Chain A
Amino acid sequence: MFRKNIITDEALVKSISAGGRSEARALEYLIDKEYPKVLHFVLQHGGNDADADDVFQEALTALVLNIRRSQYKGESALGTYLFAIAKGVWFKRIRKVGRDRDRDQEVGRSSETVDLSTPETPMIAADKRQTLLEVFENLGEKCPDVLFLWASGYNMEEIALRAGYSSAQAAMNRKNKCLKALHAQMDDNPILVDLLKNLR
């Protein structure tokens, strides 16, 4: 079990990369430690508790994705990095609704450079999200997990180990088979094509 006072960033990153219960415990630790700061920040900048919940979850999602893709290099403390993402999410949100007071000033003060530019980071509307999940869940045996691991940045050896294949080559074959099934879905499913248009 984690002892909350001594857990290091390195251990947190390892736990998040490992996935499963270990990842969940690392996220719980980050929620306990970092959420109050984000809540305070959002309240100070005209938001409410619900805004803070959304912003924090969005930032935590981006953090997890960046860790899995090895985009977090450990150049700043994990909490600092998470807080910088959360500020970015908040400013993006208020910019969207036209409430951009203090933004330039605050952004200018931030010393962090956070990569939030991945095209899939913006939230997808609920109905489209459901369509997306359905398409992947129905691609074939183990396809959701294999494609999830592959696109999360795991190498083929790790995917073979996690998904129960005998070799990296077997995992690679499965990944390609799943991608072919996805290509077929793209041909047949106009909803999916629409979703792609929205993502671009």
Chain B
Amino acid sequence: MKNQYTFEDIEAYLAEEQTEEERRSFEADLEEDVRLQEAVKKHRLAHQLTSAYVAERTRGQVAEVFNAHRRQKSGRVIPMGRWAAAAAAVLVLLVAGYWMISSPQQSAPALVTSYFEPYPDRVTTMGSEADALTEAMAAYNAGRYEEALTLFGALPQGSLQMELLNLYTGTAALQAGQMDLAEQALAQTARSATAYAPAGQWYLALTYLQQEKTALAKPLLEELRQGGAYKQKSAAELLDQLP
């Protein structure tokens, strides 16, 4: 390579911010230098990925406006006379004012506290033998989440279906404040092709909200709301309350 190019140089080339002379020199090097070609290719891929992110984020924003607007429309009443409409508007303002004063908007973590319920024990039954799994679930059921995490981690392989184990591990980690572990475990269940996937999505959304990563939580909640089964109502309520 005739010249050593920095990250910023390559960005300037792709943004067409170089002088004519710089561009000519850069392109001459580009033609001959395989490593520079690779570097430029990687920059282009990163741009492509960023464009995909913009498209997906925009798609989410549009869906949010569309669904909220349609819900609002479908709840709208038959047109009234002008005075009746004015009276109704005043009433709405009074109620909204009272609501705003009496119930300030909750933060995302506060909403998690309101909506969190541990995923129910689908493993142990009355009279289960006192094995490692039963012990782990007993800690989980008693809300001793840090202990449960240790015990889940020590379970022999095959004790429990992996997606279910990840679900319990993630839920316990969320409550124990171990967010990285919660995200990792719940994401695996959420992406699985099992019946536990919606539960994984729900608890993963709560994990994101706990960390105020609202933009990540919303698509998961939207999917649950549209899914029409697991936690549909709670997901819809949460979406309405999120900023």
Q: Looking across the interface, which residue of chain B has its beta carbon closest to that of A127?
A: B191
Are B11 and A24 in contact, CB atoms less than 8 angstroms apart? no
Are A176 and B8 in contact, CB atoms less than 8 angstroms apart? yes
Are A65 and B49 in contact, CB atoms less than 8 angstroms apart? no
Q: Count of A-B contacts with CB under 8 A?
A: 121
Given A121-B55, A176-B11, A196 contacting B219 (CB threshold 8 A) = no
Question: Which residues of A in the span 152-179 have a Cβ within 8 Å of any Cβ on B?
Answer: 152, 176, 179
Chain A residues with CB below 8 A from B220, complex form: 130
Q: Looking across the interface, which residue of chain B has its beta carbon closest to that of A25?
A: B65
Are B45 and A176 in contact, CB atoms less than 8 angstroms apart? no
Chain B residues with CB below 8 A from A196, complex form: 45, 48-49
Binding site secondary structure of chain A: helix
List the 5 shortest-distance A-B pairs measured between CB atoms, nearest first: A120-B52, A151-B50, A120-B55, A151-B54, A120-B51
Given A119-B48, A126-B223, A196-B48, A133 contacting B53 (CB threshold 8 A) = yes
B42 within 8 A of A: yes
Q: Looking across the interface, which residue of chain A has its beta carbon closest to that of B54?
A: A151
Binding site secondary structure of chain B: helix
A106 within 8 A of B: no
Q: Looking across the interface, which residue of chain A has its beta carbon closest to that of B69?
A: A28
B35 within 8 A of A: no
Complex Cα gap A133–B61 (Å): 13
Question: Which residues of B in the span 90-124 have a Cβ within 8 Å of any Cβ on A?
Answer: none
In the assembled complex, the CB of B63 is this many whole angstroms from the nearest CB of chain A, namely 6
23 pairs from A and B in contact (CB 8 Å cutoff)? A31-B65, A60-B66, A61-B55, A119-B52, A120-B52, A120-B56, A130-B220, A132-B56, A136-B53, A137-B213, A148-B57, A151-B50, A152-B54, A152-B58, A179-B43, A182-B49, A182-B50, A183-B7, A183-B42, A183-B43, A183-B46, A199-B48, A200-B48
Are B215 and A118 in contact, CB atoms less than 8 angstroms apart? no
Chain B residues with CB below 8 A from A120, complex form: 48, 51-52, 54-56
Residue from the list B50, B62, B69, B191 in contact with A64, Cβ < 8 A:
B62
Are B54 and A133 in contact, CB atoms less than 8 angstroms apart? no
In the assembled complex, the CB of B10 is this many whole angstroms from the nearest CB of chain A, namely 10
Are B57 and A199 in contact, CB atoms less than 8 angstroms apart? no
**A residues in contact (CB < 8 Å) with B:** 24, 27-28, 31-32, 53, 56-58, 60-61, 64-65, 118-121, 123-124, 126-127, 129-130, 132-134, 136-137, 144, 147-148, 150-152, 176, 179-180, 182-183, 186, 192, 195-196, 199-200
**B residues in contact (CB < 8 Å) with A:** 7-8, 11, 42-43, 45-59, 61-63, 65-66, 69-70, 187, 190-191, 213, 215-216, 219-220, 223
Chain A residues with CB below 8 A from B48, complex form: 119-120, 196, 199-200
In the assembled complex, the CB of B101 is this many whole angstroms from the nearest CB of chain A, namely 22
Chain B residues with CB below 8 A from A57, complex form: 59, 62-63, 66
Are B53 and A65 in contact, CB atoms less than 8 angstroms apart? no
Residue from the list A24, A118, A180, A199 in contact with B49, Cβ < 8 A:
A199
